[in-house]
Amino acid sequence: MTAASDSEPAPGAVLTNDGVPLKVSLAKALRREKMRSLMLIAPLLLFIVLTFVAPIADMLFRSVENGIVVDTIPRTVETLKSWDADGDELPPEPVFAAFAADLQIAVKEKTHTRLGSRLNYEMSGMSSLFRKTGRQVKGMEEGNYTQQFIDADEDWGDIEVWRTIKRLSPAYTTGYFLNAVDAERTSEGLQMKPESEQIYLFLFWRTLVLSITITGSCLLLGYPIAFLLASLPLRSSNLLMILVLLPFWTSLLVRTSAWKVLLQQQGVINDFLVWTGIISDAGRLVMINNQTGTIIAMTHILLPFMILPLYSVMKTISPTYVRAAKSLGATDWTAFWKVYFPQTVPGIGAGAILVFILAIGYYITPELVGGTSGIFISNRIAYHISSSLNWGLGAALGVILLAAVMVLFYVYDKIVGIDNVKLG
């Protein structure tokens, strides 16, 4: 009775030609429409997952992953659990015996060098220690492994070596993030590194300040250009727009290299200033391999990304608003500041976000023209990923940079409002 009553339409229900309730038919049609839409965007979703979501997830994992220690010397890690690392005595003989067995297997599989490289990030000299001991571990006799390891290299008698191994025994670690903020975990607890070894917090601060400066300089230069483009007749504005887009048709490397020629002390700009008598030959300006070179070159590269959003918003502003303000007695400045400028704020917001996000992640231009005082944190990330192969630290720096951008984006949304950002 219940099944029959469920299949029958309710009294007074609107039916389709085939006797199906209209509500049920509309629900089926809506589901089919949603599935059709999902199939249409499925390739884009797959592309985003593979090229954006998956790399970020992998970066997040690498920033805490530390399985190489427990995978390479599992017996040693297990026996070290009962050893008091806070004491003043070396690990007992069973630890050295387990370490000998693990190291012999690691030498056969050629994984001991990778383990040494990982531990070397935390304590200098560990890489060479594992390489040297790996060549001698095959000749060790059974029994008295403690003395044999110390005879192989006296560093095995250093308690800090074993404290480092035990501290890095867990499969996951916060060590990369600690290094990324110039901190470290020692036998005395968590503490900041010596001031002479601190680098990353300063680089984060420099990256933020220079990115904001570049965004501001792009706004100061781009606003009047966009205003001119929006005010000129279409034919003239199209011609000038070609000049704005022209840098996009030139390689980024070529444009950056050109600034090296222009900004150097014997370059075109300094030669012109000396020729005009503005500066003396002995007082040539230093504009390369410093923050000045980074700001100038990156402002030139990112300027179109500020002009285009501003122009697209300014083009939609009717000139009748300003004329109406002037007809009511407003001066040119009052009409601009009170009437025209507020309508361009959405374009300013869009351009500022676009330029700032691009600037904070740039590393090619600062690398070429920034020298030691003009590089960004992204340059260190690229170095750890491609040169030092410390992917964990590079991933941790990337995660912190991503988190900083998200926090700034949230603050921007609270102050300006992301709904006020428009591209036209």
**What's the pLDDT tens digit per position in 246-258?**
888 888 888 888 9
Query: DSSP assignment, residue 396?
Result: H
Query: From the CB of residue 125, how many other CB atoms can be counted at a distance below 10 Å?
Result: 14
- pLDDT at residue 4, as a whole number: 47
pLDDT, average across residues 14-22: 68
Q: Which residues contact 286 (CB under 8 A, 6 or more apart)?
A: 265, 292
Q: HEC string of 110-177? A: CCHHHHHHHHHCCCCCHHHHHHHHHCCHHHCCCCCHHHHHHHHCHHHHCHHHHHHHHHCCCCECCHHH
Tell me the C-alpha distance between 183 and 191, whole Å. Answer: 6
**62-72: per-residue pLDDT in tens?**
899 988 999 99
What share of the chain has pLDDT > 70, as a percent? 93
* Domains parsed from the chain with CATH numbers: 2-60 (no CATH), 67-173 (no CATH), 200-420 (1.10.3720.10)
Q: E-strand spans in 143-301?
A: 183-186, 189-192
Residues linked to residue 21 through DSSP beta bridges, in sequence order:
15
- pLDDT at residue 191, as a whole number: 85
CA quadruple 289, 292, 298, 300: dihedral positive or negative?
Answer: negative
- Size of the chain, expressed as the number of residues it contains: 424
Using the predicted structure, report yes or no on whether residue 177 has a pLDDT greater than 70.
yes
Beta strands 189-192 and 183-186 are: antiparallel
Angle between helices 200-231 and 291-314 (to 10 degrees): 40
Tell me the C-alpha distance between 279 and 53, whole Å. Answer: 53
pLDDT, average across residues 228-254: 87
Using the predicted structure, report yes or no on whether residue 102 has a pLDDT greater than 80.
yes
424 band by pLDDT with thresholds 50, 70 and 90 = low
- pLDDT at residue 311, as a whole number: 93
Residue pair 85/167 in contact (Cβ under 8 Å)? The answer is: yes
**212-226: per-residue pLDDT in tens?**
999 999 999 999 999
Residue identified by tokens 């205003």 is 227
pTM of the prediction?
Answer: 0.80
